[in-house]
Structure 1
Amino acid sequence: MGIKGKLEVEVDIKCHGDIFHELFSSKPHHVSNITPSKIHGCDVHHGEFGKPGSIIFWNYTLDGKKCVAKELVEAIDEKNKLVRFKIIEGDLLNEFNSFTIIVQVIPKDQITAVMWAIEFEKKHDEGHYPTRVMDFCVEVTRDIEAHHLKA
């Protein structure tokens, strides 16, 4: 068994959190239009966008390398503005036995935060932690925020 862990980060955003939640819960295919240098495509392979149990295929660039991920939409919680994706195939599973990404919009007093969490199990103790994936998520968040602020 490898090392299990969880990374979390909260990013304060100036745009409305409902827009952000809607993107990842029911319109993830629109993310590639907003941040095309990072995410190149998002397609449904089984089910439909916005439905738990669906399988989504992503094309993206991480650290200058073209990558793919097939994700199972494990949960969409409208009340708590949370979406949970489990990677079932793709480049990340070369380094990790399991990899789950959670994105949640958290309303605060005058601002909104986007919380990203990554739950993982490393294949090897000496392998890298998924900090570069977390940096990628923060960059995508900033791209989405900038897109909606200029609109």
Structure 2
Amino acid sequence: MCFYDVFTNKPQLVSTMCPLHVQGFEHLDGVIGKVGSKICWMYTFEGKKKISKQIIETIDYEKKVLTLKEFEGDVV
């Protein structure tokens, strides 16, 4: 499984892969791996707990490109 596949289809695994930086993931709305799905990341930046709520805008399976738009949370 490559980096793109994890972020697109199994984002809940990211916190397992890098627990020092990403502490959690929450699926807010829609279908994971589909355009329009809303997700929330819980992470640490410069020692401070942060969140980032994002919506999947585009997915290009051939080019392996995933575009996310932040709609709430801490912009880094």
Question: Which consecutive unaligned segments of at least 5 residues does structure 2 have?
Answer: none
The count of residues paired between Structure 1 and Structure 2 equals: 76
Please give the TM-score of this superposition, normalised by the length of structure 2.
0.93
Question: SS state of the match for residue 59, structure 1?
Answer: strand
- Please give the residue correspondences for 1:1-151 in structure 2 after superposition, counting only pairs within 5 Å: 19-92=2-75, 133=76
Question: SS state of the match for residue 71, structure 1?
Answer: strand
Please give the TM-score of this superposition, normalised by the length of structure 1.
0.48
The root-mean-square deviation of aligned C-alpha atoms, in Å, is 1.1
Aligned identity (percent) is 39
Partner amino acid, structure 1, of 2:37: S
Stretches (4+) displaced over 3 A: none
Report deviation, 1:75. Answer: 0.9
Aligned equivalents of 1:48, 1:41: Cα separation in 2: 18
Query: CA offsets, 1:110-140, max 9 Å, x none?
Result: xxxxxxxxxxxxxxxxxxxxxxx5xxxxxxx
Question: SS state of the match for residue 61, structure 1?
Answer: strand
Query: CA offsets, 1:74-102, max 9 Å, x none?
Result: 1111001000110000011xxxxxxxxxx
